[in-house]
């Protein structure tokens, strides 16, 4: 799993010049889910202890959020809830001939700042930040 915490996006994308921390995540399909979730939790809490920024986590988690009864799905949803994150992607991100899965996620602390969420087949997720009213 790769996680790049503490990366701020350019000021022109940050409504009201608030800090936004971006975590890019990849968990190999055979990677340890529990260890990955612990690392994410640790990194997010470290960022929150410094300030209360917007948090943007995106990537290939290889955990299918359509499998509501799966233990990996439950653990990831529980972590999102515990951290106050909203998972923005609601459609399948990996479409094969006989299956559709939601394994690529974008989760944020302040969902009201994001719009125009795009889906592709396991290639690219897109999410545009909305500028706060009254900012340039």
Classify the C-alpha dihedral 78-33-51-46 as positive or negative: positive
The answer to the question of residue 134 being in a domain is no
The answer to the question of residue 115 being in a domain is yes
pLDDT the model gives residue 121: 57
Residues in contact with 7: Cβ distance below 8 Å, sequence separation at least 6, in sequence order: 21, 22
pTM over 0.85? The answer is no
Phi, psi of 87 (to 5 degrees): -85, 115
The answer to the question of residue 2 being in a domain is no
* Spatial distance between the Cα atoms of 103 and 6, rounded to a whole number of angstroms: 23
**CATH number of the domain residue 69 falls in:** 3.60.10.10
pLDDT at 119 over 70: no
Rounded mean pLDDT, 36-54: 86
Rounded mean pLDDT, 102-109: 93
pLDDT at 116 over 60: yes
pLDDT at 1 over 60: no
pLDDT at 17 over 50: no
The answer to the question of residue 108 being in a domain is yes
Domains held by the chain: number: 1
The answer to the question of residue 135 being in a domain is no
pLDDT at 111 over 70: yes
For residue 120, what pLDDT band results from cuts at 50, 70 and 90?
Answer: low
| Domain region containing 77 | 7-129
The answer to the question of residue 136 being in a domain is no
Sole residue written with tokens 């396991």:
122
Work out the end-to-end distance of the chain between its first and last CA atoms, rounded to an integer number of angstroms.
37
Structure tokens at 35: 């260890």
The answer to the question of residue 111 being in a domain is yes
């Amino acid at each position: 799993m790769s996680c790049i915490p503490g990366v701020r996006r350019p000021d022109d994308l940050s409504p009201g010049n608030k800090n936004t921390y971006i975590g890019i995540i990849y968990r190999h399909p055979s990677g340890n889910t529990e260890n990955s979730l612990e690392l994410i939790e640790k990194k997010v809490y470290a960022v929150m202890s410094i300030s209360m920024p917007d948090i943007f986590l995106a990537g290939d988690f290889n955990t299918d959020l359509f499998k509501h009864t799966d233990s990996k799905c439950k653990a990831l949803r529980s972590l999102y809830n515990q951290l106050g994150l909203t998972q923005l992607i609601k459609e399948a991100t990996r479409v094969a001939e006989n299956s559709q899965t939601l394994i690529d996620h974008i989760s944020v602390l302040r969902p009201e700042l994001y719009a125009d969420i795009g889906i592709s087949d396991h290639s690219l997720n897109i999410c545009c930040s909305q500028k706060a009213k009254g900012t340039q």
